[in-house]
Chain A
Amino acid sequence: MGEDVLELWSLVKGLAVTGTFFFSRQVTVHYPRAVVDNLATFRGPIELSPDPEDSMRPLCIACMTCASTCPAGAISVIRKKAPKAEGGKDDEKEVARNAPKVPEKYLYDYTLCCQCGLCAENCPKGAIRFSGNPFTASPDKKDFTFDLLMKFERNKD
């Protein structure tokens, strides 16, 4: 009997909770007209950080650490070729040693990426970071394979 009355009181308490919620501020963000304010914390597709001295160049040295650590195999880096060697075998070795430590292409497949952050953690130059860009919707799967160097190409124009 007493327990039943207590349960009745809990119904009143429940009504009070929903009643207060009814009049309190809404937490929904009306998406196309407004966005949430913590976008920076979002792990979007990865991007290359620019060199602090020359913002036209990425910090990347094409060492392939990211490509080999990536558990999903989402990254493939193509290193820039050295100019053709003139003369003998020694010259070729010399040329390979002097080849520029810059990527030619940095291919990244966002559909494979699991945002684990191992690439960014293991990069010796700290050249990889998460972009925090949530606006990556597309009807075509191919749109999610980017060359991360395109950003720098666009800056050059």
Chain B
Amino acid sequence: MSFAAIVWLKMIVAVVATALFVAVSVIFLVYLERKVAGHVQRRPGPFEVGPHGILQTFADAVKLLSKQPLKPDGADPILFWLAPIAAFAPALLLLMPVPFGPVLTGLEVNPGILLILSFSGMNVLALCLAGWGSNNKWALLGAARSVAQAVGYEIPLLLAVLAVTFTSGTLNLSEMTANQGPYPWRWNIVLQPLAFCIFFICAVAETNRNPFDLPEAESELTAGFHTEYSGMGFGLFFLAEYTNMIVVCSVCTSLFLGGWQGPFLPGFWWFLAKMYVLLLVMMWFRWTFPRLRFDQLLNLNWKWLLPLSLVNLVITVLAVSLF
């Protein structure tokens, strides 16, 4: 086999494996989310479909697949159907440069983190298209909110990542992980606790999760940008939301929590465990905090996160150049 053929084969295997991983994870995460919601409110959560409700997500998926996709009158026929595809399509690409294990990386590229950050911007575009194409005032308001939110929160997120890249001296996620050690005191979170907090808060905001779920605030905007979507149109947005959660949590794991590094167990399991802890914290946030008001959302970003991340960056630069 020629070299090109091997590269192509590796790409195809990586894409298929990532798609499988995403599908299984999303099904499990939806179940987990509902169970966490239930237990936080002292309810059992889904319980009736299968033992302890483990088949609930499959039932929901079948329901979504079998529903008729409807387009409202006056909606833009191209943009309306492009939006859910544009929301989910980059999600698989975002997981490609993530090192799931010592050699388990879909696409080994030098500016890996840059690739993820630039393509994650596609999600905002998708929400924008959905809001604009729906011909619905709630959807449009949701899209406008999501743009304001994403533009604001991208900046402290980038600055937090920048601080970490200064300390590790690379943009390659595999190398960043390799630079950290198996035990917590050698992880980047010890060097950059503030950057970790800022990154995680911004990640929650970027994925439109509570308490930053203003683009889909049920009480004000019915369902925000996906108000008009039924069946698999909604399903793709749902899938994209959970895939983006997996992406930000896996990036956070590789950047701050030592990625696949860990004692005794093989790397993949450590990566999975750390990622799921972060996902659980995200769910914990969702079922604890009420939604922010829009001015609070922007104040938090521009008055707190941005100055803090700048201060953090300056201190990091000074520390790196002096020592």
Is B222's beta carbon under 8 Å from chain A? no
Is B289's beta carbon under 8 Å from chain A? yes
Within 8 A of B (CB), among A24-39: 24-28, 30
B288, A24: Cβ atoms under 8 Å? no
Chain B at the A interface: mostly helix, strand, loop or mixed? loop
Size bracket of the B interface? 10 to 19
A15, B42: Cβ atoms under 8 Å? no
B42, A18: Cβ atoms under 8 Å? no
Chain A, residue nearest B39 (CB): A22
A95-116 Cβ-contact flags toward B at 8 Å (1 or 0): 0000000000000000000000
**Least Cβ–Cβ distance between A110 and chain B, in angstroms:** 29
> Inside 8 A of B240's CB, which chain A residues have their CB?
none
B42, A27: Cβ atoms under 8 Å? yes
CB-contact partner of B42 in A4, A11, A14, A26, under 8 A: A26
CB-contact partner of B41 in A14, A21, A25, under 8 A: A21
B287, A28: Cβ atoms under 8 Å? no
**Least Cβ–Cβ distance between A19 and chain B, in angstroms:** 7
B288, A30: Cβ atoms under 8 Å? no
A28, B42: Cβ atoms under 8 Å? yes
What is the bound-complex CA distance between A18 and B36, given in angstroms? 10
A24, B42: Cβ atoms under 8 Å? yes
Chain B, residue nearest A14 (CB): B288
A18, B284: Cβ atoms under 8 Å? yes
B40, A18: Cβ atoms under 8 Å? yes
What is the bound-complex CA distance between A24 and B38, given in angstroms? 12
> Inside 8 A of B41's CB, which chain A residues have their CB?
21
A122-148 Cβ-contact flags toward B at 8 Å (1 or 0): 000000000000000000000000000
B289, A21: Cβ atoms under 8 Å? no
CB-contact partner of B44 in A17, A24, A30, under 8 A: A30
What is the bound-complex CA distance between A22 and B281, given in angstroms? 12
A30, B289: Cβ atoms under 8 Å? no
> Inside 8 A of A30's CB, which chain B residues have their CB?
44, 47
Q: Given the known A-B contacts A15-B284, A18-B284, A22-B36, are A28 and B43 also in contact in the complex, defined by CB atoms under 8 Å?
A: yes
Total A-B Cβ pairs within 8 A: 36
Total contacting residues, chain A, CB less than 8 A: 16
Chain A at the B interface: mostly helix, strand, loop or mixed? helix
B43, A18: Cβ atoms under 8 Å? no
CB-contact partner of A22 in B40, B285, B304, under 8 A: B40
B256-300 Cβ-contact flags toward A at 8 Å (1 or 0): 000000000000000000000000000011011100000000000
Within 8 A of A (CB), among B37-76: 39-44, 47
What is the bound-complex CA distance between A105 and B39, given in angstroms? 51
A26, B43: Cβ atoms under 8 Å? yes
B36, A28: Cβ atoms under 8 Å? no
Within 8 A of B (CB), among A11-60: 11, 14-15, 17-19, 21-28, 30
Supply 24 A–B pairs (Cβ within 8 Å), ascending by A.
Answer: A4-B304, A11-B289, A14-B288, A14-B289, A15-B284, A15-B288, A18-B288, A19-B284, A21-B40, A21-B42, A22-B40, A22-B284, A23-B39, A24-B42, A25-B42, A26-B39, A26-B42, A26-B43, A26-B44, A28-B42, A28-B43, A28-B44, A30-B44, A30-B47
A-to-B contact residues, CB < 8 Å: 4, 11, 14-15, 17-19, 21-28, 30
Name 16 extra pairs, CB < 8 A, besides A18-B287, A23-B39, A30-B47: A11-B288, A14-B289, A15-B285, A15-B288, A18-B284, A18-B288, A19-B284, A21-B42, A22-B39, A22-B284, A25-B42, A26-B43, A26-B44, A28-B43, A28-B44, A30-B44
